[in-house]
Homo-oligomer: A and B are copies of this chain.
Amino acid sequence: MMPEPLNNLERLCIHSITTKPWTIEEATINYSSKGVHGITVWRDALTGRNIRQTGEMLRRHGLKTVSLCRGGFFPSAEPAKRKQAVDDNRRAIEEAFELGTNLIVLVCGADPAQPLDDSRKQIQDGILSVLPDAEAAGVRLAIEPLHPMYADTRSAINTLAQANDLAELINSPWAGVAVDVYHLWWDPNLEKEIIRSGNNGTLLAFHVCDWKSPTMDMLNDRGLMGEGCIPIRKIRSWVEAAGFKGFIEVEIFSDRYWKQDQSVFLQDIITRYKQYV
């Protein structure tokens, strides 16, 4: 059964990268003034800021920081780079703690110079390495499966089944999964795997946007909700049937939208959130 449309913005979260031309301060003021309740902060938006004060600014404007984006990128054929990645994830955990969010999204990484199986093993090792830090900081790590078109360099975890397998193997309250409709909409096992993550208590995040036909760029041509072919509301029904009641995060990378007036774009996001999510 399809859920009702969302008639208020209580569960709407926007990723700072969605309105990339805005600074975090501009995004804060604009999201807040439109009644948006949540923000996921991309780390680049924090450059040169005092992170603790930025977290306070967000809270002062009524914005909950849903997650910090992003940790991960663990695999490399070079051991020194794997060490750097672990260090960087420890920094991300500190940043999340200072910002005042209890969730980090992991884009797990992949290195085309080595077999996918090796990258997958290194992802597991990397997460296990930083898990004590995550626990100490009270920050959960969400394994986000990425679309298979990113299997070469961005993530060797490409289906929710893989993410669930990995989360079950890690078997910690500090590790779970993130569901992004853009990456997973095509998967015939999606509903089943969403229910599985719900049953495991590991469904930590839900990201939305749309898949345009045609898609002109593999990275930065995501669509606004309703602009493409993803059955967003149907997938929301699965996520909610799995017990997820958290924020619904709008994450759009789009050269086209980044060129527009971001205030107009923000209004479009809100309109389409109510209409298509």
Contact = CB atoms under 8 A, between A and B. Distances in A.
Interface of A: 112-113, 115-116, 120, 147-149, 151-153, 158-159, 162, 185-188, 211, 213-215, 218, 228-229, 231, 234
Contacts of A229: 112-113, 152
Contacts of A186: 116, 148, 151, 158
Nearest to A111: B229
A149 B149 contact: yes
A213 B153 contact: yes
Contacts of A147: 148-149
Given A218-B218, A228-B112, A162 B148 contact: no
Contacts of A152: 211, 213, 215, 228-229
Contact of A153 (B162, B214, B231): B214
A68 to B, nearest CB: 26
Contact of A215 (B187, B213, B218): B218
Contacts of A231: 115
Given A228-B112, A231-B115, A187 B148 contact: yes
A261 to B, nearest CB: 28
6 contacts: A112-B228, A147-B148, A149-B218, A152-B215, A158-B186, A218-B218
Contacts of A158: 186-188
